[in-house]
Amino acid sequence: MNQLAENLKANKLKVTPQRLAIYTYLVNTTSHPTVEIIYNHLKDDFPSMSLATVYKTVASLRDVHLIREFNVSEDSNRYDARTDIHSHLICTKCHKVFDYLEDINIEKNINRIQDCSGFAVDAYDISFYGVCENCKKND
């Protein structure tokens, strides 16, 4: 059985064709899609699949930490199957999301935050907002 199906089973999620298709799509894209984008990409292959199914599936995948959910702008959640710690670059014009994989040396700041606050940081999410290269060219 393929690794993605095994990941679902290991997290006590039933392996259905729709769930596997949604998860596979997320694993194989770097576009950080919305639920609507996922649905529109898969609806021809799964005509009986509803938008509600996609919402429920991404929620289930998020809840077991197989994907990450983050907000780009008002009412615009995006999904990322890359669950390792990394930052995002978010364009405020076109709302595209890009992974930023360079080390931003946040560890020393996390240590400082922990020392000053007594708060034990388990995870963090850093997003940088601005204008992407393509939108700058088109201005």
Tell me, letter by letter, the H, E, C secondary structure of 124-139: CCCEEEECCHHHHHHC
Q: Helix or strand or coil: residue 96?
A: coil
Instruction: Identify the pLDDT of residue 1.
Output: 54
pLDDT tens digits for 105-121? 787 888 889 999 999 98
With helix as H, strand as E and coil as C, how does 14-62 read? Answer: CCCHHHHHHHHHHHCCCCCCCHHHHHHHHCCCCCCCCHHHHHHHHHHHH
Residues listed for the chain: 139
Give the tens place of pLDDT for each residue, 21-68. Answer: 999 999 999 999 999 999 999 999 999 999 999 999 999 999 999 999
| Predicted pLDDT at 122 | 85
Spatial neighbors of 66 by CB under 8 A, at least 6 apart, are 7, 8, 11, 23, 81, 83
Give the whole-angstrom CA distance, residue 54 versus residue 35.
6
Q: What is the pTM of this model?
A: 0.84
Gap between the Cα atoms of 131 and 15, Å rounded: 39
